[in-house]
Structures are given as structure tokens and as C-alpha cells.
Amino acid sequence: MQVVPLTTYQKRWVNDKSRFKIGVFTRQGGKSFASSLEAVIDCYERKTSWVFLSAGERQSKELISKAKMHAKSIHIAIESMSTELIIGNNTYKQLEIKFPNGSRIVGLPANPDTAVGWSANILLDEFSKHKASYEIWKAMFPTVTRGYKVRVVSTYSGRKNKFYELFHSSPTLCRFNGAESEYMGEEGGWSKHFVDIHQAVAMGLELKDPDGKPCDIEVLRKALSDEDVWQEDYLCIALEENTSFITNDMISECQNHTLLNPKWVDELIRKAMATYDEKKLNQEIPKIEMEEGKEKELYMGYDIARSRDFSVIWIDEKSNFVRRAYAIISMKKFPFTVQEMILFSLLNTGTIKRACLDAGLFGANITEKAQGIYGADVVEGIHFSNKVKETLAYAVRHSMEDKQTEIPVDEIVRHSFRSIKKYTTSANYVRFDAERTEKSGHGDHFWAKALALHASESKESGPVGYESGKKGRWRKFFSSRGAI
């Protein structure tokens, strides 16, 4: 039965009646569309049950919406409902569609608790993105013992997850690679479908621009401007773990399009550069107004560079458990004198509660000065050893995974976060590094964010101001430059 227009590979997926079926599909190739259609047709033709397990509640809602759309297109008078599923101390939103013949489709966010206890056909949607994929698989598979089917679809998300292992290591019944197919016939085998972006277009996927005109694949690749994402999400090449410490999905989940830099950021940079250009000696610290920041709990991270990379000041607002980007100041090849003026202008406002500064080779001097004025209790110097980087990097990732970080929709920020790579040496030492590019530096925005997060989690202290901490010769130093 064909109820809606499908590409060739979607038709092949829907018509494949194999009991165990798994597919690697390009991003936006219609894998969830085709998988939910198969379930709806199955429910229409006979009394049965399906359980859709998605990466989260949002994805579960979207998948059930596709199933509702399919049911409507073939004029099925379904009944839909939303209830709460309580398991132990946790509550999950359970979405459900009921068919006139008694069939039903249940949608849930996937975890080991929600995957267990069903007698139904199972669809694991974007399985590579599921947390605890091995535990989910262990809990889920016995539910299909008595004659039910399993459908698993996803793009890749690295290699250390059950989806990758299942596609590459399980027995193979049939192999579909683009338009080609091969019958293997292995006992207990899976029907395996693979479609990258080029194969999808060749098999009927239409790419269009906002005006509905045909769009070339290369246009998408150039606009994306991230080769790792292109290879994994579109070319369906599973990348090694060390290429995706912060995944594209993590970034997208944490982006907030309403986050914009305050107007004073550009004005501060302009004043600092003008002061530096006009008076090489006796620079005065520019004064800025941060009225909107006085009611916020602000924390600063400062990753310091001079010529090759970005110096980045990242200021987070802490609101309950969420750290929300409040201001990001990117400085490329700024003289240290200008960077100092910008830093101390911010600290002098009295709105920054705590600041963590990169106290390495380039930052040692400015960190010492800042601590001399504001005190080591409110300005902390961080030395980037491998162990420190590991602690900071995992803190950012956990904050993003738990949706406790919000970042702006910004191409350089995305590039910086995606550039962070984790390497494990032959001696089992872990180190973090980033590919250095002209466009996004050397992971500088990521490390500035990591320092700001660390500042917000350090011991509590009062707002930073020039009255805090040691004064002595540092008070005299800045007094002569208009800072006090």
C-alpha cells in the first residue's frame, strides 16, 4: 500500500518485511517518516501494537505526530492521548494512538526503564543518540521474543554505542547499499539498509531552496562548513570518538536563538581600541554601563591568546541550575594592553561575581594583576594541565547533556565547541586538543565557556569590585591609569 509519495529507498524500507531491520540514513532523509508509516500500515492491516522509543520527549512527540499524519492520510479515525508513566521516582510522558481495530502505537523517551515490560513491535528512532544504548538494548530485546519485530534507524553518532555495533557486528540477512542489494542469509540475520546523501538524491530525495527551486548537495556542504558533521550526518561515516567530544546534537539542543550580545560589548571594544590608538602611554580604563547585568548572577571565563588564536571572555548568567551565555567578547590579535583594559573595565562594574582566568604562558601577567586588585578569592588563575582540561571539558559536556547550558546560535561558537577532540594515548593518558583554524581559533570559545562554568561552581563570594582583595602597589598602578 502506498499512501504518500515515497523515495525509492523509503519504499524499499516500508516493503521490507524482515523481522529484524536496521537502517543508517542521511540526515533529513525521511527515516522516521518511513518507519512510522510502516507501523501505521501494520496497525491498519491487523490488530497489533508498536512502541516507539525516541532519544527524548521532543523527539517522541515528533515521531508520534508523523504517525498521526499517516493515519489521517489514509482516513483512519484514530484516538490520541497523553498520559504519565510513573516508574519508581521518575515520571515520563507517554503518547498513544489507538486504532479502530484495537491496534495501538505508544511513544516514549528511551531509557532502560521505559524499554522493559512491553509485548510489542519496537521502533528505536535515532538509536545512536540514545543515552545508555547498551542498557536500553538489554532491557528492550526480550519484549519481542514472542514473534514481534524490531526496527532500528539512525544517523551515526560516533562508534561507541549499540547502534554502531549492531549495524556492523550483527549477522546479516540482506544488505542494501543505496540502489544495490545482496542477500547474505545468515541465521538470525538483520536486513541492513544504508543510504547516504548522494544515494538518497539519486533515489528520489529532492533538495530545494526556500523558494522551492532545486538545491545542489555541494551548496549544503559549503553552507554547513563543518567537515566532521558533513561526514557523519550526511555521508554516513561513523567518526572515531575523539572527533566528537561535543556532538552537533548537543550543541543544537543547547542553542537559544534569543541570546544576543549586549550592546555595550561593541562599545567597550571600540573605546578600548580608541584609547590604545590615541595614547600609547597612561591608558585609562574605559567605563561601561551594565545596568541590565546588576540584577543577574554573572560569572566570567577568560581564555587568553595574543596572535594566533582568539582571546575570549565568556560571561555566563547563572539562573537556578542553568548557565546562560550573557556576553561573549572575541578578541583576535588584540594587544595585551587592550585586553587588559577590556577585562578590568568589566571587573570594575562590580557585576561579575567570580572570574576564572587562563593563567598559562600568555595569561600569567594579567592574572597576577587582576588578583592583586580584586583578590584571589574572586579572580582564580587556572593552569591548563591535561588533568585540568579533562575536568573542565567533561563539566561542559555534562552541563550540555543535562540541558543546563544555553549558548547563542553562532557559527564560530559552534565550530569551537565541535573542534574539541579527546585523545587517549597508548599509556592510557587522556588529553584534549582542538584543530586550529583561522575561522574558529583553537577551541578558545569552548575553553572560555569551561572557565566560566568553573567560576560559577567554585566557592561563593561577593561581587567582584576594585575594593576587594589586595591593593598596595596594584591600587597605585591603576590609580595612575584612571581605574580607581
pLDDT value of residue 477: 33
What gap in Å lies between CA 230 and CA 280, rounded to an integer? 47
AA letter at 294:
K
pLDDT value of residue 191: 97
Is the pLDDT reported for residue 213 higher than 80?
yes
C-alpha grid cell for residue 230? 558533513
Average of pLDDT values for 42-57? 94
pLDDT value of residue 4: 65
pLDDT value of residue 306: 66
Concatenating the DSSP letter of every residue in 93-117 gives EEEEEE-TTS-EEEEEE-STTTTSS
pLDDT value of residue 282: 57
AA letter at 356:
C
Average of pLDDT values for 221-227? 82
pLDDT value of residue 480: 32
* Long-range contacts, stretch 268-275, CB < 8 angstroms, 24+ apart: 268/329, 268/342, 268/345, 268/346, 269/329, 269/331, 269/342, 271/345, 272/338, 272/341, 272/342, 272/345, 273/334, 273/338, 275/341
Q: Tens digits of per-residue pLDDT, 360-392?
A: 888 888 899 999 988 888 899 999 888 898 999
Q: List, in sequence order, every beta strand (DSSP E) within 283-403.
A: 298-303, 310-319, 322-332, 352-358, 379-382
What gap in Å lies between CA 380 and CA 383, rounded to an integer? 10
Question: Which of 82-86, 188-192, 243-247, 294-298 shows the lowest per-residue confidence on average (mean pLDDT)?
Answer: 243-247
- Reported confidence tier of residue 473, pLDDT bands at 50, 70, 90: very low
pTM confidence score: 0.59
What gap in Å lies between CA 460 and CA 456, rounded to an integer? 8
AA letter at 115:
A
- Give the contacts of 87 (CB within 8 A, at least 6 positions apart): 113, 114
C-alpha grid cell for residue 481? 591609569
Q: Tens digits of per-residue pLDDT, 75-116?
A: 898 999 999 888 888 889 999 999 999 999 999 999 898 998
What gap in Å lies between CA 389 and CA 316, rounded to an integer? 19
pLDDT value of residue 484: 25
pLDDT value of residue 426: 58
Q: List, in sequence order, every beta strand (DSSP E) within 117-166.
A: 121-125, 150-154
pLDDT value of residue 280: 57
C-alpha grid cell for residue 149? 519485530
Q: 163 phi and psi, to 5 degrees?
A: -60, -50
pLDDT value of residue 384: 86
- Give the contacts of 180 (CB within 8 A, at least 6 positions apart): none
Q: Measured on CA atoms in the order 432, 459, 398, 132, is the torsion positive or negative?
A: positive
Best-predicted range by mean pLDDT (160-164, 240-244, 440-444): 160-164
Q: Report the percentage of the chain scoring pLDDT > 90.
A: 53
Half-sphere exposure of 424 (CA within 13 A, CB side): 5
pLDDT value of residue 179: 94
What gap in Å lies between CA 316 and CA 166, rounded to an integer? 40
What gap in Å lies between CA 367 and CA 297, rounded to an integer? 22
Q: Measured on CA atoms in the order 112, 118, 122, 125, is the torsion positive or negative?
A: negative
Judge whether 125 and 51 are in contact, CB under 8 Å.
no
Q: Tens digits of per-residue pLDDT, 263-316?
A: 899 999 998 888 887 765 556 777 777 766 677 899 999 998 866 678 899 999
Average of pLDDT values for 241-266? 83
Superfamily for domain range 8-202: P-loop containing nucleotide triphosphate hydrolases (3.40.50.300)
Ordered alpha helix ranges (H), 107-161 = 133-140
Best-predicted range by mean pLDDT (164-168, 307-311, 460-464): 164-168
pLDDT value of residue 425: 64
Is the pLDDT reported for residue 483 higher than 50?
no
Q: Hey, how many other C-beta atoms are within 10 angstroms of the C-beta on 288?
A: 19
SS3 of the chain: helix, strand, coil, percent, to 5: 40, 25, 40
Pairing mode of beta strands 49-54, 298-303: unpaired
Is the pLDDT reported for residue 67 higher than 70?
yes
- Running DSSP on this structure, what letter comes out for residue 56? S
Judge whether 338 and 274 are in contact, CB under 8 Å.
no
What gap in Å lies between CA 348 and CA 150, rounded to an integer? 61
Judge whether 482 and 347 are in contact, CB under 8 Å.
no
- Give the contacts of 241 (CB within 8 A, at least 6 positions apart): 158, 159, 160, 422
Is the pLDDT reported for residue 427 higher than 70?
no
pLDDT value of residue 472: 34
pLDDT value of residue 44: 95
Please tell me whether residue 6 adopts helix, strand or coil conformation: coil
Secondary structure of 371-428 in the HEC alphabet? HHHHCCCCEEEECCCHHHHHHHHHHHHHHHHCCCEEECCCHHHHHHHHCEEEEECCCC
Pairing mode of beta strands 79-87, 90-98: antiparallel
- Reported confidence tier of residue 228, pLDDT bands at 50, 70, 90: confident
Domain 252-479 listed as CATH 3.30.420.240: yes
Q: Where are the domains of the chain?
A: 8-202, 252-479
Q: Tell the burial category of 90 from Cβ atoms under 10 Å away from its Cβ (0-12, 13-18, 19+).
A: exposed
pLDDT value of residue 287: 77
Our measurement of the distance from residue 281's CA atom to the centroid of its chain's CA atoms, rounded to an integer in Å, reads 45
Average pLDDT score over the chain: 86
What gap in Å lies between CA 125 and CA 333, rounded to an integer? 46
